[in-house]
Every structure is written in structure tokens, then in C-alpha cells.
Amino acid sequence: MTLEEGICLYAQKTPDKTAVICYEDKISYSDLWNMIIERAGLMNQDGLRKGMPYVFRASQDIDFIINYCAIHYLGAIAVPLEHQALQENFISIQKEVGGCDIPADIQDILYTTGTTGKSKGVMLSRTAIESCADNFICDMHYTDELLYIISGPLNHIASLFKIHPVLIAGGTVCILDGLKDINAFFDVFRLPYNRVATFMVPASLRLLMEFSYDKLCAVADRIDFIETGAAPITGKDMERLAKALPHSRLYNTLGGTEIGAVCTYDFNDGKYMEGCIGRPMKNSIVEVTPDGSIIVSGPTVMSGYVNDPESTAQVLQDGRITTSDLGYVDENGMIHLKGRRGDVINVGGFKVDPLEVENAAIGHESVKECICIAAEHPVIGPVLKLLVVLEDGFVLDKRSLAIYLKSKLEPHKIPTYYEAVDKLQRTYNGKLDRKYYRIK
């Protein structure tokens, strides 16, 4: 069913049950449904009609869900943008989506963050949205007892598409405005819910463990599951999180705006396999070609990019999306990621996946986080360089780190240069911003 059908259903079955919480505010299923109908009426009076795109800024509150569902209720297309989107960009996107033909079954257009080039509008059909929600419900076992904490921006698929399965299953959504206030996250556990879940990128999980590990352990019995994705999580962080939450399900998921959520792996299995994304979810087909390319097909994939048939044709052929991810399938049928095609560094004829170097380096006692990048040597050309954020109390000991890496990696994967930095550049979504560090 759709998100709106789910809310309508529970407005009848459990009208007084809380559907959404946002700090001190909360709303029942019945009141939420009534406000969606009321808001849809106002939007209709203002001229919004079936098939028309509606561009709006995403806010981290209950009102966002009311707007989003009201747009769908009218059969219009929701186009949520970042809350702080510049007015110039807002108007530009309004013109773009308003001036082109959009397939009749499109419900959402989500704009990518544009970290690798021009931001693109990803068109998602009703079928894609419903199928992605079904993937979550079936593979991660969403139930009506679940309280799901959403702290990421609601214009982004990783957060927006968690609203659907939670409310379709009859659970409760809890919206936070980011994780700058860690106490606000733990305040949620004062609410009378015994099955709590959330999604966090690995960088946020690391901060949570760094500054609030004892608090996390204290609420372990109430955490049903935590999902992570959007960037690689290290084996070290997997193991540390599993020790804090020994009875929780801990999912590493492959997903994206163009493909939806398609693969997942519960790494609370004692193996902590870095890069493992498990097996395809219910409505997804994931293939690994002989050259290691990961191809996704099935009903969760996008319909294409808005007004950009050339970019669409580059990634989408016959309903199959060729991603930038590289990987392999192990003897147990589990899919593993091995970095992204554009991230591979060519050193002396050897192709090096920087993620492999980073995962090795993070095991050193002095390394808090790091990124492996390409650098230019005056004699031998491209070499590897490791930028390191140090743990408190450590200074960079290049020799010690190099010796450690030599025990973990092949010779051509050992960085030539090492540098301590205060922080690493990250994208809007918390990923390491590799493009920022590329040799100009």
C-alpha cells in the first residue's frame, strides 16, 4: 500500500495511537490523516492538480509529513529540497520540473546533492516507492510496535523513505533535527517504547560511540535494530557497535536515490565483514558482472532523470542500473563492495582501492579516521598519501604506521606520504568527499 493508504488505515484501526513525534510535539494517526486531507484541500484551492510537481523545502517536523502526503493525496508530484536551498536553486528547479513532460506514474522527484557534478532530479514512481517500503518491512521486520528515530534530512532518500515503512506498518516516527544534540537522541528512550530503531551513516555512529558509548550500552535492550549505509563502515566500528548492542540487529545496506534500498547484511554475526552488503532484498535483483560492476534491477529503480535523457541512458538500460560500485560474490552468495569505480587509484600500473588501505589503517591505535588519496611524487609520479585524524594523545608516527600497514597490505598499497589533519572533508551525506582530494 502507499504511505497515505497506510495512514488512512490506521486512522480507522488505531485512531488515537501516536503516528509522529517531534520533540515535544506529537500527532495521532487520526489527527494526522485529517490534517493531510485539510492541507490537500488548501493546496487544491491554490491550483495544485494531479500530475503537477510541487517544489517545497523540507523541514524536520510533523508539518513536512503533512505536506508530503497531501501532495500525494492529490496525485501531484512531491519535490522536496534541502531546507536551506538557495532561492536561486529553488526557482531553477521549479522551472525545470514545471517545463518538461513527466511520466504519469511519478510520485517523487528527489534531487541528488550534486557532489559529483550537476544535481539531477531522480524520478521515482509509485511502484518504486512502494517496493522500497516493502523491502524494508519484509527484510528488516518493521512492526506496529516500532519507534523509528529519523535524524537525517527529509529531502534525502535515506531518511524520507523510512517514513513509508514505519507508518505503513502502523509504527511511530520520531523526527530529530540532526544529531548535533546527542542528548536529544537519548531523550527519546524516555518514551514508553521498547522497540526502537534508527538509521545513521558510519560517521554519526562513530561519534555516538566516541562520546556516548556508556549511554548506548544502557539502552541496548530497547534497540531493535540500527541500519547504516551511504558510506563504508569499518570492521572495527562494526565490532564495537556489536559489543554495545549484542542482541540488536545491525544492518549494512546498499542503497541510493536511483536504486532504492536493495541489499542488506546483519553484521552482528561475529564476523564483522567489511564491505559486505549481504543478499538482495525481496523486490530487488543485484548482479555482479565479471569485471566487478554492480548492476541493480527490479521495481525499486528510478524511472530516469528529469529532463536529462543522456544522463539517464548512461546508467539505465532496459530497467537495469549500472552503479559506480565494484564488488564480488563470495562462496556463500554474499555480495561484497570493493570501492567505487571513480575512486580507484592507479599507482605504478597497480590499481588500488583506497578503502582497503583505510580499513587497514583504522586498526592502528593512533588512527581515529583517515582517507587514502592520490599524490604526485616528483620522480615516480602518482603515489598514495594517507591523511590521518589522530586519536587524542597521539602524535603522527609515520614509521610506526608504515610498518603496521606493511603487515596488513601488499607493498604497492603502502602509502608513500602521511599527514596528520584536524578533520576530513565530508559530503552533505556524511561520506568522505574523495572528489575534494583529487589531484587537480
pLDDT in tens, 429-438: 677 888 889 8
Task: Find the CATH number of the domain harbouring 407.
Answer: 3.30.300.30
Find the mean pLDDT for residues 163-179.
97
Give which of 224, 178, 225 is closest to 203, Cα–Cα.
178
Q: Look at residue 281 and tell me whether its pLDDT is greater than 90.
A: yes
Residues 189 and 293 in one domain: yes
Residue type, 178: G
Q: Assess whether 88 and 177 both reside in one domain.
A: yes
Q: What percentage of the chain has pLDDT greater than the value 90?
A: 82
Residues 162 and 22 in one domain: yes
Please give the Cα distance from 278 to 204 (Å, whole number): 22
Q: So what's the pLDDT on residue 339?
A: 79
What is the model's pLDDT at position 347?
A: 87
Same domain assignment for residues 48 and 69:
yes
Is there a single domain that holds both residue 334 and residue 352? no
CATH number of the structural domain spanning residue 45:
3.40.50.12780
pLDDT score of 322 more than 70:
yes
Numbers of helices and strands, H then E, in the chain: 13, 24
HEC letters along 385-407: EEEEEECCCCCCCHHHHHHHHHC
Residue where a domain terminates, one of 338, 357, 391? 338
User: Tens digit of pLDDT for each residue in 341-387?
Assistant: 878 888 877 878 898 899 899 999 999 999 999 999 888 888 999 99
Do 304 and 318 fall into the same domain? Answer: yes
Q: Is 62 exposed, middle or buried (0-12, 13-18, 19+ CB in 10 A)?
A: buried
The number of folded domains in the chain is: 2
Mean pLDDT of 233-250: 95
| Spatial distance between the Cα atoms of 234 and 227, rounded to a whole number of angstroms | 14
Pair 78, 392: CB distance under 8 Å:
no
> Within this chain, do residues 326 and 367 fall inside the same structural domain, yes or no?
no
Q: Which three cell numbers stand for residue 11?
A: 486512522
pLDDT for 440 beyond 90: no
pLDDT for 419 equals 96
Least-confidence region, from 126-130, 199-203, 419-423: 199-203
pLDDT, mean over the chain: 94
Same domain assignment for residues 326 and 366: no
> Residue 159's pLDDT is what?
95
Predicted local confidence at residue 225, as pLDDT = 98
- Nearest Cα neighbor of 168 from 127, 136, 198, 192 is 136
pLDDT digits (tens, 9 = 90+) for 68-126: 999 999 999 999 999 988 899 899 999 999 989 999 999 999 998 643 446 899 999 99
Residue span of the structural domain in which 198 resides: 3-338
Domain end position, chosen among 316, 338, 360: 338
Asked if 293 and 223 sit in the same domain, the reply is yes
Q: Which of 338, 372, 393 is the last residue of a domain?
A: 338
pLDDT number for residue 140: 97
Tell me the C-alpha distance between 252 and 278, whole Å: 8
Q: Is this structure's pTM higher than 0.75?
A: yes
Same domain, 186 and 118: yes
Distances (CA, A) of 80 to 43, 90, 280: 15, 10, 28
- For residue 366, is it left (φ>0), alpha (ψ between -120 and 50) or beta? alpha
pLDDT band at 404 (very low <50, low <70, confident <90, very high): very high
Within this chain, do residues 139 and 154 fall inside the same structural domain, yes or no?
Answer: yes
State residue 439's pLDDT score.
Answer: 65
Whether residue 362 is found in the same domain as residue 414: yes
pLDDT class for 187, splitting at 50, 70, 90?
very high
Q: What is the mean pLDDT of residues 259-287?
A: 96
The residue ranges of DSSP E strands in 31-134, in sequence order, are 53-57, 77-81, 106-111, 121-125
